[in-house]
Amino acid sequence: MSITLNVNGQDQTVNADPDTPLLYALRNDLELNGPKFGCGLGQCGACTVIVDGKPIFSCLTPIAVLEGKKIRTVEGLGTVEKPGPMQQAFIEEQAAQCGYCIPGMMMRAQALLEKNPAATETQIRTALEPNLCRCGTHMRILRAVKRAGELMQQAGTGGNA
Amino acid sequence: MDDFKKPGGITRRNLLAGGGALVVSFSLTQAFGQSENPPPPPPPTADKPTLPGALNDDPFLDSWIKIDGKGAITVFTGKAELGQGIKTSIPQCAAEELDVPFDAIKLITADTFVTPNEGFTAGSMSMLNSGTAVRNAAAQIRELLIAQAAVKLGVDPATLHAEDGHIVGAKGEKLAYADVVGNIQLHVNAQPVSKLKATKDFKVMGKAQPRVDIPGKVTGGQAFVQDMRPEGMLHGRVVRPPSYHATLIDADIATVEKMPGVVKVVRDGSYLGIIAEQEWQAVKAMRALARSAKWNEKATLPDINHLPETLKSLAVQDGVVADNKTPAVGVVKTVDATFTRPYQMHGSIGPSCAVGHLVDGVTTVWTHTQGVYPDRDAIAQLLGVDKPKVRCIHTEGSGCYGHNGADDAAGDAALLAQQVPGKPVRVQFMREQEHAWDPFGPGMVTHIKIGLNAENKMAAWDYELWSNSHGSRPGSAGALVSSRYLSKPFPEDPQKLVITPLGSGDRNADPLGYDLPHKHVIWHFIKDQPVRQSSMRALGAYCNVFSMESAVGEAAILAGADQVEFRLSHVKDPRGIDVINAAAKNFGWTDWKPAEGRGRGFAYARYKNHACYLAIAVEIEVDKNTGKVRLVRANVGIDSGEIVNPDGIKNQTEGGIIQSMSWTLFEAVQFDRTRITSVDWQTYPIARFGSIPDSIDIEIVPRPGQGFLGTGEGAQGPTAAAIGNAIRDAIGKRLYDLPLTPDKVLAAMAAPAAA
Amino acid sequence: MLRRLLIVLVVVVILAGAAFFSLVYKPAIDAVPPGQAQTFDTALVAHGAELAAIGDCSSCHTTAGGKPFAGGLAVPTPFGTIYSSNITPDRATGIGQWSEAAFQRALREGVDRDGNFLYPAFPFDHFTHVSDDDINALYAYFMTRQAVNAPSPASVLQFPYSIRQAMAGWDLLFLKKGPLQPVADQSDEWNRGRYLAEGLGHCAACHTPRNQLGAEDSSQQFAGGSVIDGWYVYPLDKNSPAPTKWDVASLTSYLKHGFAQGHGAAAGPMAQVTANLAGVNDADVKAIATYVASQMGVDSTTPTPAPTTMAAGEPSPPLNSGDSLNLPMTVPTGADIGQTVFATACSSCHTAGRAQPFGGVDLRQSSAVNADSPQNVVNMVLYGLPASDGKVGPIMPSFAGALDQGQLVALLGYLRSGAGKSAWSDAATVVADTLSGKTAVKSYSADGIERVPGAGNARTTP
C-alpha cells in the first residue's frame, strides 16, 4: 500500500503497510539517518521528529495517521554547508559525544524554541525530560539549546535554515 | 564518510594501489588476547628497544601513516571512535608533528584488513597507545622527509624544517612532501626516541579542535552502523531465550516463514533468527516467532535481596594486589567499612547493530565492537573458517562505555549472513535484548580498614574485594552470546585471576595515591559468573574508588580534619596535589557555608594509578522528606598530561561525571531467580534532565612536554565517592550500598546516630 | 410601647451581634517565642511522616519544582483561586510561630493562628476527625521540616467568598467537628480505615461531589464524577467502572504500589496519593483499602490473597519483556484508523501480557476506558505517564502531536468497542477541549511528581 508523506517540505510516496511506524519509513524507505531507533517503546526519545510543529515518537506512530501532516527531521533543519540555528548551536557548543541521541534532542528542542525561542533553562530541561542521553552530554545540550534560542531570536526566524 | 552503499569499500590493497609511492607490506601482530589491558611490553633489549605507545606492538611507521605520491596523508589507528573523539584527537597528533593543517589528515580507524591491531579500544588507552604511536611515527616521518630533502637539495638537514606540508630551508629552499616522499622507505622500524615538537610550538595540538564527526551527526549524515543500507540489504532480528540457561522446546517456524516479507527463519539448536525484506516485517516476524517459542528454563540467578552475601559465598581464588610487607604500627583508631555495588548496565541508547555480508567465502562485518581483531577471531571460530575469511570493520554505534552488545550483534550478523550469501544483512537488537543480555558491570563487595595513628594520619590500610573478572570479551566464539545456544555450542572462556599494574576488578585497589606505612590489598577473585558480566567503564575502579575514598572521607572525619587537607597531608605526588588544589579552589571549599539539606563531598584518584589525575568536589541537596539526592554542582581538577584536545577532555569528563552520578544514585540491574527483569528504561531507569546538575566546572592542569594520560574513565570512581561523602556531610550518616537511593537515605536518617 | 419594642429590638440585635461576633471572632493564639528550637522524638517525627503521607499534604502544599511544603500552589475553585499556604517552620512566611494548639485549631476548626478563617479547600472538615496523638505527631513532623522563606500569593475570590468571616456560616452549616464514633458491627480494621480515609486521607474531598456552596454532598458519598486538575474522578461506590472488580487486595496494592494487576497504574493526581502512600505501613494502607472496598460493596470479611508487589526474587510471569514478545496485530486493509493506531502505538505494551505496572493494562479492563467520561483516556493518550527521575516505575509515552482530533476520537471509539461499550457521545468535545487547553490537565509521573503536559496542550510552559 502506498502512502504519501510530506517530509521536510517534500511529498514522498512510501510503499509500506499503514501500521508501519514512521521511524522505519523515514529510515529505510526515505533513507533519512536523523531519527534513530532507541527503544521502540517511547521511553528514550531517540526517534523524535516534529509533526505539525510538535515533537512525537516516530517509533510508535503509524504512517497511516500522517497523511497531510508536515513531518520534519533533523535533515530539514539545514545542511552541513548551511546549518540551521539548532545545528549551528550544537556544532558551536560541541554538544555531542557519541551523538546517537542528539538528533532526537534537537528536534524536541526545536519544537520548544519555535514556540518560545526565549525558553528558560527550566523550560528546556522540562521539555527534554522524555529524551535520554547516556554519554552525559546534558550540560552541553542545555548550552546548545539556549544558544540556538539566541540564534533564532537574532535571525528572527522560526529556526529553519 | 565511506560510501555505505558499496559494501566492500576500501581495503588496504585498493587504498594503496592508487598511486601510492610507498612500498608497504602490512604487518600483523597477534591479538592481545582477552584482556583489555595488553601485557606490558617485554623489557627492552639491544635489538628490540621499547618504543613509544602502540609502536611496540606494530613498529613499522607505515602501519600508522602513509603519504602518497601527491602528498595526501592517511593515518591508520587500530582504535575505534566511541564518542570519545579520537577521530579528531589522533589526527591532531599527526598534523602537529607533520606540520600540516588538521584537515590534511585522513584517518582510517579499526579494520582488520587495513589498520594495525590495537586490541580493544578501552581502558582510556586510545591516546596513550594510539595517540602516542601516531605522534611519534609522524615526528619520525617528518625527520625522514627532512633527511631526504637534504639529500635532494644537497644541504645540511639541520638547516631544514617542516612547515605547512613542505620542507623549508634557511635560504628559502622549499620542497613539498610529495616531492620527496617517493624516495623514502617508510616500511621501517620506528626508533625509540622521536624529535617531538615542544608544547610552545604547537599549532594543532592543545587547541580545542572541533570534532570532525559532529557536523554530520547533527545534520543527518550517515554516521552509525545503524545508518548503513547497502544495496539489497535485508533486515535481521534474533529471538533471544527468556533466560540464560533456557533451551528451546519448540517454535512455530512454518507459520512465521509464511509471514509477509520473511526471507528466512533460522533455527539452530536453541538459536532463533529472522531475515526479512523490510524492517517492520522483520520486527513482526520476530515477535510472532518469540511468542510461539516454548522454552525450558532454569532458575540459576542469585537472590538479589542477598546479593552481597551470595557474592561472598561463591568460590574464590585470592590474589595479592598490594602488600608492602610492613606491619601496621601505632594505630589508635580505625575506620572499618563494607561497601557493595550491584550489577550495573552499559545502557547504550541505541541497541547494538551490525551488518554482515558473505561474498566469495569472505564474511565482512561492519560492527561497533571495541576490538575488531578479537571480534574477528571469535567470529571466525563461530563460523568455523580461517581468520582471513572474516573481516571486521569498525563502524560507529551508539556509545558503548565498555563491552556491551556490539560483539554479540556482530556474531549474529555473521551467522545470519551465512544464510543469504551475497546479501548484506543488518541485525538490530531490540531494546530488551540489549538490556537483558548486556554483559553487566559485575556486582562487588569491598571491605576496608583504615588505621589512624596518634597524629591522626593514615598508618594502616587493609582492603579486600570480592569481584568477577570484569572481562569476558571476545577472542573466542564462546564470548558471543549466540554461540551458546547453537546445536553445537561453544563453551564460555574460563575466567582467570590476572593481576597487573593497570588492574581490572582490582583496578585502583592499590592505594598508590596515598603515602601509607602499611598496606595490604587482596582480591577474592570470583570465577563463576551467575550473571553475565564484563567490562564497563572504569571496571573495578568505580567501586574500589567509591569504597576507598568514602573510607578516607570517614577517616578524615575520625581525625577531625578537613577533607581536603587530610588528603593533601597523605599525597606526595605534586601532580596529585595540584588537581586536589584546583578542585578545592574552584569549588570554594574553604568558604563553603553549611546549609540545611546541603552537603559537600570530595574525592581524589589517579585512574588506574597510571592515567589521569582527577579530584572532584561536589555539592548535593537532600530532600529529607523523600530522601532524594540531587547533585547540585561539581568542580573538577584534572591532569591528562600533554593536552591534545582540551575540549575533548572536558567533554569526556563532564560525561563521566553525569554517567557516574546516574550509576551512583539510581542504577541496579534487577532480576528474579531465573530472568533478568531490567529490560527497558522503566525497569532500569537512568538519569534524565530532571536530575542533571546546575553546573559542572573542569579545570585542566596543563603539563607541557609530558606524555598523554588516559582520560575517558577517570571521573567514574571519584564522582561516586564525592557524592557519598556529600551525603555523609548533609545527613550525618554514610551510605555503603550502591546505588544511593532515596529509601536508603531515609533509612539512614531514621537510624540512631553513629556512636 | 414603641419604646419598649425598640429596646427589645436593640437587645435582639446586640444578642445576635454578640452571637455572630462569637462565631466570627477567633482570637489569635500566642506565637512560639523565637530562638528556642523545638525538639521532637525521632520516632514521633517518623510517625508524623506517615500521617503526612496519608494526608497527601505535599500535593497541595508544594508547587511543581518548588520546595517541599512551601505552599503557593494555585487551587482553582468555582469561587476563585486559592493559594496553598507555606507549612514549613519558617517564622515569617510559614508556620514557625505556630504552637501545637494553633496547629490543632487549624486542623480541627479551619482557623489559622491569627484567628483568620481558612477556606475549605483545606479539608479541615475531614481533619477535624484526627486524634490528638496524630496531630501531635504531624506537628512534630512539620516543625522538623526545612524552613523555607516563601510567602504565598493572596487568594483571589469573588465576593462574598472574599470575606473570610463568611466562612463562619459555612462552618456552621458543614463542619461537623469532633471524632468519628466507631461503627460497632464493623471490624477494627474497617474502623481504622474509616478513620484514616475520612480523616487525614480526605478521600471524599475529591471522590464525593460538592454542592453549590462547595461542600461535599454527603448523600452522594464517593459518587465521583467531577473533574479535578483535568482528571475525571472515578466513583468509589457501587458504580466503580472497573470491569475487574476491586477487592481489598487489589486496592491495597494500588494504594501502596501505585498499580494493581488488572487495573493498571495510578495516574493524574492519584499518582501523588499513591506515591505518598508508598511510605506508609502496610497495615494502615490495607485498612484504608478495607474501608474503601466496603464502599464499593465488597465484603471486607472475605479473606483476600496477599497483595501483588514489585518485590524481586519472585518467579517471573510468563512474559517479562515488552516489545519483542508482543504478538503482532494484523491490521486488515482499509481498517479503521483507530485500530491501526492501536496496533502500532498501543498493542506492543497493552497486549503483550507483561505483568503490570511495566506492561500496560489490558485496555478492555481499564477503568478509564469503561468510565462515563473519556477524559482520563484522552489525558493518558496525550500526556502518558511520564518517567520518574531515576526511579523504577511505569512509563507511558505521550502521543500528543502524533494524533489529531479525529484520529484520537477514532482511537477512543476502537477502545470502547473493544470493551463492549458504545462510543462516548462527548468524545469529540472532550478531545477538542483538552487539545485546545480549555480543559487544563496536570500531568504526573508515577512517583507523583508533577510534569508539564506534552506539547500537544496549549500550556507548554510551567
Chunk chain A into consecutive blocks of 10 residues (it has 161) and report each block's average pLDDT, rounded to whole numbers.
94 94 97 97 97 97 96 98 98 97 98 96 95 98 98 75 46
Residue B638 has pLDDT above 60, yes or no: yes
pLDDT for residue C351: 86
% chain C with pLDDT above 90: 69
Inter-chain touch B399–A135, beta carbons under 8 Å: yes
Contacts with A16 from chain B: Cβ below 8 Å: 278, 280
pLDDT at residue C178 greater than cutoff 80: yes
pLDDT value at B9 more than 50: no
Cβ contact B350–A77 (<8 Å): no
Q: Render pLDDT for C88-116 as a digit per residue (tens, 0 to 9).
A: 999 999 999 999 999 999 999 999 999 99
pLDDT of residue C17: 63
Rg of chain C over Cα atoms, rounded to whole angstroms, equals 24
Instruction: Determine the pLDDT at residue B8.
Output: 42
Q: How far is A119 from chain B (nearest CA, A)?
A: 15
B48 pLDDT band, cuts 50/70/90, is: low
Cβ atoms < 10 Å from Cβ of C213: 13
Predicted confidence (pLDDT) per residue in B584-610, tens digit = 999 999 999 999 899 999 999 999 999
pLDDT score, position B37: 53
Of the partner residues B286, B672, B683, the one whose CB lies closest to the CB of residue C324 = B286
Report CB contact under 8 Å: B220, A34: yes
Q: Which of A34, A96, A134 comes nearest B659 by C-beta?
A: A134
pLDDT confidence tier of residue B14, bands split at 50, 70 and 90: very low
Nearest to B529 by CA among B374, B301, B247, B298: B301
Domains of chain A: 2-73 (3.10.20.30), 77-155 (1.10.150.120)
Is the pLDDT reported for residue B163 higher than 50? yes
| A21 contact residues in C (CB cutoff 8 A) | 344
Which cell is B377 given?
Answer: 577471531
B223-261 in b/e burial notation, b at 16+ Cβ within 10 A?
Answer: bbbbbbbbeebbbbbbbbbbbbebebeebeeeebeebeb
Which residue of C310, C314, C316 is the best one to mutate when testing the B interface, meaning the one whose CB has the most B CBs within 10 A? Answer: C316
Task: Report which DSSP code applies to B382.
Answer: H
| pLDDT bucket at C366, cuts 50 / 70 / 90 | very high
- Distance between CA atoms of residues B529 and B545, nearest Å: 23
pLDDT tens-digit series, residues B182-205:
888 889 999 999 999 999 999 999
CA A7 – CA A30 distance, rounded (Å)? 9
Query: How many other CB atoms are there within 10 angstroms of residue C435's CB atom?
Result: 19
Task: Please give the residue of chain A at the shortest CA–CA distance from C455.
Answer: A54
- pLDDT recorded at residue B314: 95
Select from C65, C345, C387 the Cβ nearest to the Cβ of A62. Answer: C345
Average of pLDDT values for B427-449? 97
- Tell me if A33 and B347 make a contact (CB, 8 A cut-off): no
The predicted structure's pLDDT at residue C332: 82
pLDDT band at C9 (very low <50, low <70, confident <90, very high): low
- State the smallest CA–CA distance between residue B341 and chain C in angstroms: 17
The pLDDT, as a whole number, for residue A123 is 94
The pLDDT confidence band at residue C6, using thresholds 50, 70 and 90, is low
Residues 6+ apart with CB under 8 A from B612: B124, B606, B638, B639, B640, B641, B709, B710, B711, B714
- Dihedral (CA of C200, C201, C205, C209) sign: negative
The mean pLDDT of B317-326, rounded to a whole number, is: 97
Least confident window among B138-147, B441-450, B615-624, B744-753: B744-753
Judging contacts by C-beta atoms under 8 Å, the chain B residues touching residue C42 are: 750, 752
Q: Give tens-digit pLDDT for C46-92.
A: 999 999 999 999 999 999 888 999 999 998 888 899 999 999 999 99
Give the model confidence (pLDDT) of B476-485 as tens digits: 999 999 999 9
pLDDT for C202-216, tens place per residue? Answer: 999 999 999 998 999
Hey, of C63, C344, C385, C452, which one would you mutate to test binding to chain A, going by the most A CBs within 10 A of its CB? Answer: C344
The dihedral over CA atoms of B308, B309, B311, B312, expressed in degrees to the nearest 10, equals 120
Query: Can you give the pLDDT at residue C449?
Result: 85
- How would DSSP label each residue in C305-371? PPPP---TTSPPPS---SGGGSPPPP--TT--HHHHHIIIIIHHHHSS-PPTTTSPP-GGG-HHHHS
Q: Are C462 and A122 an interchain contact pair (Cβ–Cβ within 8 Å)? A: yes
pTM to 2 decimal places? 0.93
- What is the chain C residue with the closest CA to A39? C323
Nearest CA in chain A to C336: A64
CA dist B285 and B565 (Å) reads 63
Residue of C423, C421, C384, C387 whose CA lies nearest to C403: C384
Cβ-based contacts of A61 with chain C (< 8 Å):
344-345, 399, 402
Judge whether A16 and A24 are in contact, CB under 8 Å: yes
User: Which of C333, C451, C461 lies at the smallest CB-CB distance from A129?
Assistant: C451
Tell me what pLDDT residue B6 has: 47
How far does the CA of residue A125 sit from the closest CA of chain C (Å)? Answer: 11
- Give yes or no for A70 touching C (CB within 8 A): no
pLDDT at B20 over 60: no
Closest CA of chain B from C392, distance in Å: 5
Partner-chain contact C321 B679, CB within 8 Å: yes
> Above 70 in pLDDT, residue B60?
yes
B622: β partners:
B629
Q: Predicted confidence band at C362 (pLDDT cuts at 50, 70, 90)?
A: very high
- The answer to whether the Cβ–Cβ distance between C68 and B625 falls below 8 Å is yes
Chain A contact for C66 (CB, 8 A cutoff)? no
Q: Is the pLDDT of residue B286 over 80?
A: yes
Residue linked to cell 476520537: C409
- Distance between CA atoms of residues C204 and B257, nearest Å: 57
Residues B243, B248, B253, B255, Cα dihedral to 10°: -70
Q: What is the mean pLDDT of residues B411-438?
A: 97
Q: Closest Cα to residue B669, out of B362, B439, B338, B359?
A: B439
Q: Spell out which residues of chain C touch residue A40, defining contact as CB-CB under 8 Å.
A: 323, 348
What domains does chain C contain, in order, with CATH numbers?
Answer: 39-174 (no CATH), 188-295 (1.10.760), 337-451 (1.10.760.10)
| The pLDDT of residue B396 | 97
Query: Does B641 contact A at CB distance below 8 Å?
Result: no
pLDDT for residue B43: 54
User: Are residues A7 and A71 in contact, defined by beta-carbon separation less than 8 angstroms?
Assistant: yes
Round to whole Å and give the CA distance between B96 and B163.
10
Beta bridge partners of B621: B598, B630
Q: Inspect the interface and report whether the beta carbons of B651 and A94 lie closer than 8 Å.
A: yes
| pLDDT (tens digit per residue) in B209-251 | 999 999 999 999 999 999 999 999 999 999 999 999 999 999 9
Q: Which among A40, A43, A51 is the nearest to C401, CB-wise? A: A51
Distance between CA C145 and CA C152 in Å, rounded? Answer: 18
B323 at interface of C, judged by CB pairs closer than 8 A: no
The closest of C91, C85, C93 to C110, measured between CA atoms, is C85
C21, pLDDT greater than 80: no
Grade residue C159 by pLDDT with cuts at 50, 70 and 90.
Answer: confident
User: Chain A residues with CB inside 8 Å of B208's CB?
Assistant: 94
Distance, in angstroms, between A83 CA and closest chain C CA? 25
Q: What is the pLDDT of residue C15?
A: 60
- B-chain residues near C69 (CB < 8 A): 625
Percent of chain B with pLDDT over 90: 88
| pLDDT, average across residues C172-189 | 93
Determine contact: C327 vs chain A, CB below 8 A: no
Judge: B690–C391 Cβ closer than 8 Å, yes or no. no
Contact B291 C325 (CB under 8 A): yes
**In this predicted structure, what is the pLDDT of residue C163?**
84
Find chain B residues with C-beta within 8 A of A136's C-beta. Answer: 654-659, 662, 687
How far, in Å, CA of A147 to CA of B697, rounded? 19
Q: Across the interface, do B623 and C68 touch by the CB < 8 Å criterion?
A: yes
Tell me the average pLDDT across C135-145.
96
SS (H, E, C) B63-117: HCEEECCCCCEEEECCCCCCCCCHHHHHHHHHHHHHCCCHHHEEEECCECCCCCC
